[in-house]
Each structure stands twice: as structure tokens, then as C-alpha cells.
Amino acid sequence: MRVIAIDGPSGVGKSSTSKEVARRLGWAYLDTGAMYRAMAWLALSRGVSDPGDVVELVRGADLEISTDPDGFRIEVDGIDVTEEIRTDAVSAGVQTVSGVPEAREELIEKQREAIAEKPAGIVVEGRDITTVVAPDAPVRILMTADEDVRIARRAGENHGTADAEAIAATRALVADRDAKDSQTTSFLTAADGVHTLDTTHVSFEEAVEAVLALAKEAA
């Protein structure tokens, strides 16, 4: 099984690092967080919030996600929601889906199926990949970073700047989501056998090289 599993909170560089590692290895890339976001978008668009209804929504949805690191795309029921899932409204509503155990189970099964379809190699990133989705992956990594650094990075991504106003707007969103998600997943502390990669003072290239080195060791 050629799988690199990467977990971590917002702003540690999971997505950018995972994509680049996948590119250099010639492997597929799976953004599991985008799957939760897509289902959150669907729930918001349909006004669904009851846990039981959310489970049925997830079960009945036609979810298609690209595993090409150079051509990410995600569709729900034939609708391209690649851009829509990155809005603050969707970010704030992800817990509507991720906080429902049965809904998580449905999406975890889809994630495992996606991994199984890529035996040549896949880099998978999210918040419970190393412990739940792919606990037997040869390479398991928890990426971390100081909270202030993470918030500044996410502010830059969301607002194009990391000035005081952007950071203030981002802080509550990031901290709130981390707090809620930590109730259902473990992504703040590395489990046994999981490597910790602190990116607080690490450049993007250094993070990529660190992951590639671990992949080489496991080969």
C-alpha cells in the first residue's frame, strides 16, 4: 500500500505540502476536508441541519472529487462546487456534517474507496487520516504550527493579507473550528507511530523535503 497520510489543523500547510509531494512522486492526491466542505455546502443550500437528515443527505449525494494534484475539482450532484466550498459560510458550517458520527462514517468509507482505487500511490490529507481513515499507511504525519502562525497563514489565504483586520476576522473561525473538530477527531497530538512535523519555522520546500524523506525511508 503506497499511502502517505497527513493530518493537522488549519494553516499548517497540509494541502500545499500534500499536493507538491504528490506531484513529485507522481501520485494521486486526496483532500478529505473538501469532501466535508462539499457536504456542508449541500446542507447549507438545502437548509438541512438535523443530524438524521444530514446523514441521509450524505448517503444520497453523488459526490465526485478529483485526485489530480494539478487539477482539483469537486462536484455534488453534478454541480461544480470547487470554489463555493471555500467560503467562510461553508467553513463555519462544516461541523454540521463532521460533527455527526454516522455522516463521518459515510465519508470515511468513500475516502477508503478512493485510496483503494489508487494502488500506484496517493497522498491523503485531513484531520483523522493517520488514525481512522488510513491507520496502516506506511507514512503517517501530523503537521503542526503555532496558532498565531496558522491564523496568519489562513488569513492570507482567505483575505489576501495578514493585516490586523484579516487576522481578527480569521482567528475566531479557525479557533472555533479546531475546538469543535477536536471533539470528534484527534488531530492536535500525534498517535503512536505518527511523525510530527512542526512547520512554525519551516519553509514550504523544507516541509515537502521532510515528507519525501519519510516516504523514501518507508519505500
Number of helices (H), then strands (E), belonging to the chain: the values are 9, 8
CA-CA distances (angstroms) from residue 10 to 37, 42, 45, 151, 153?
A: 13, 22, 24, 8, 9
C-alpha cell at 178: 479546531
**How far is the C-alpha of 153 from the C-alpha of 40, rounded, in Å?**
23
Task: Tell me the residue type at 156.
Answer: G
pLDDT of residue 171: 76
Going by the annotation, the residues of the binding site are: 8-16
pLDDT of residue 36: 97
pLDDT of residue 184: 56
**How far is the C-alpha of 99 from the C-alpha of 34, rounded, in Å?**
15
pLDDT of residue 176: 66
Going by the annotation, the residues of the binding site for ATP are: 8-16
pLDDT of residue 147: 84
pLDDT of residue 187: 61
Which strands make up the sheet holding 74-76, listed edge to edge? 63-65, 74-76, 79-80
Helix (H, G, I), strand (E, B) or coil at 65: strand
Taking 70 as the pLDDT cut, the residues of the chain under it are 159, 162, 175-188
pLDDT in tens, 52-101: 999 999 999 999 999 999 999 999 999 999 999 999 899 889 999 999 99
pLDDT of residue 77: 96
Q: Where are the domains of the chain?
A: 3-211
Q: Which CATH number fits domain 3-211: 1.10.3210.10, 2.40.110.20, 3.40.50.720, 3.40.50.300?
A: 3.40.50.300
